[in-house]
Structure formats: C-alpha cells, structure tokens
Structure 1
Amino acid sequence: MALLCAGSGDVLASDNKPTYCVAKLFGVDENMLLSALNWVCGKVDCSSLLQGQPCFEPDTVSAHASYAFNVYYYQSGRLTGTCDFNKVAMVTTTDPSHGNYTFSCQQSDPTESPGSSLQVSGTGAVLMVVMY
C-alpha cells in the first residue's frame, strides 16, 4: 500500500510549501463538480469517502471532491493539468485539513479496484461509478 504524504518532502521549489488539489469554493456548478467526482472515483480509490469511513465527514460534495481530486493529483505526480477537472478544481498551498479530516497523509492502493458509490447529503443524489 502506498502512503501519499503531502507534507513529507513534496514541495514547490519556489516557496517550499506542499501543494494540494481542491474543489473551487465559488462559481462552480454542482453538477459539474459531481461529474468530476464521478470521473476521478473511477481512477482512484474513493472507498474512504463512504459513510462510516474516515473521510466521510464532512459529508459535502465539495469536501469529497477535494479529497478525491487531491489523491488523483498526487498519484499523477502533481503534473500540470492533473488538478483542473474541467475548471472545478485548483492547486493551493493552503492545507485544507480541519478537525479529524486531514489531507497531510492519504492512503491509496493502486492495486485495488477503484470505484465507489457515494451518498451525497443534501442533494439526495447517489454518485455511482461505472467501470468499463
């Protein structure tokens, strides 16, 4: 199992701060955000976002998308363009962690089959990833 730690030596050369890929907070269409979350959960393991799992709270589309976007961003080597998701995400040096919800270390296992079903509170929508 690979352990991705944003604060453990992965830094921007220009300012010595770790970077994170997060959902934009303003001016984002929620359907586009859900679409991006659906896509990225087909590429990375989103099981930690399921109810009862460590990253379920806060149970918001934005928080879940930010977690999944950041996992993808790190698995992709933080390459330019891996944190855009059709203009609903952005790179930041501000750690989005709060409370028990931490971005400093995220676990992922590239050998696991990606894809999850997420219940998004407040919308009544269920996000289902379909693997081809």
Structure 2
Amino acid sequence: MAATLFALALLLGATATFSAAPATWCVVRSDASEQVMQRTIDYACSAGADCAPIQSSGLCYLPNTLPAHASYAINSYYQRKRTNDPTACSFAGAAAIATTDPSYGSCNYPSSPGRDVVNTCGHD
C-alpha cells in the first residue's frame, strides 16, 4: 500500500513538473506597411514556409488580404524554423509572437513544426 502511494505521489509530482509550453504563433504586426508585408510573404515562401494554403485554391486564400496572407506565411516559416532559429519570428520587426490562435473557419494556423504544418490542406 505504501509503495502504491509513493508511486502515485511520484507520478503526480512528475506531471506537475513537466507541463507543456503554451502554443504560440507568429503573425504580422498591424503597423507593418503593405510593402513590408509583401516582402515577408516573398521571403517566407521562398525560405521554407508552406504557402500552398494562401494560393487561390488554398483553404487560407480568403480573405485575400496582405495581412492575412503575411500572417499565414510568417507563421508557417516560424513553426518550421523556430527550433533551430530563435529569431524565426523577427522579420526585421514586422512580426510578433501571438498566444491566441489566429486560425479561422477551415484555415488552420499550425502551432508546431509537426504534422499539422505539412497537412494544412485537410488531407494526407
């Protein structure tokens, strides 16, 4: 009985000690100019971001605005690069970390570099 209680106490202590970090996203700052937003899209999409969802047939194309497309591209880049690059959300000050999920409708903003980054179109 004592061994069971000890094991339970260890398990509860370990669970409390190893809590997961909160999800984060990287989005364009509202004060970024349209020119800067376009440059961030161009850079992110050419440097490893999955930009297929913001193409005309993608789930994140609408709204067809620079802020929406820039945020998606920036976040995709950030999720793929953040493990090895602590400045992955910088974009020369044009982007910021968000703790509120910017996903909407069928447009899923990944919050990790895992499977959901690759599977943003809703199929395997």
Q: TM-score, normalised by structure 1?
A: 0.63
| Structure with larger Rg | 2
Query: Within 5 Å, which residues of 2 pair with 1:68-107?
Result: 68-78=73-83, 79-104=85-110, 105-107=116-118
**Residue type matched to 1:67 in 2?**
Y
Please say if 1:65 is aligned against 2:70: yes
User: Any runs of at least 4 consecutive aligned residues in structure 1 with deviations exceeding 2 A, and if so which?
Assistant: 13-16, 77-80
CA displacement, residues 55-83 of structure 1 (integer Å, 9 cap, x when unaligned): 21121111111111111111113542110
Aligned-pair CA distance for 1:33: 1.1
Segments of structure 1 that go 5 or more residues without pairing to the other structure are: 1-12, 109-132
Root-mean-square deviation (Å)? 2.2
User: Which of the two has greater helix per residue?
Assistant: 2
Question: How many pairs does the alignment contain?
Answer: 95
Q: Which has the higher contact order (CA 8 A, sep 6+)?
A: 1
Query: Within 5 Å, which residues of 2 pair with 1:1-132?
Result: 16-25=21-30, 27-44=31-48, 45-78=50-83, 79-104=85-110, 105-107=116-118
Segments of structure 2 that go 5 or more residues without pairing to the other structure are: 1-17, 111-115, 120-124
Q: TM-score, normalised by structure 2?
A: 0.67
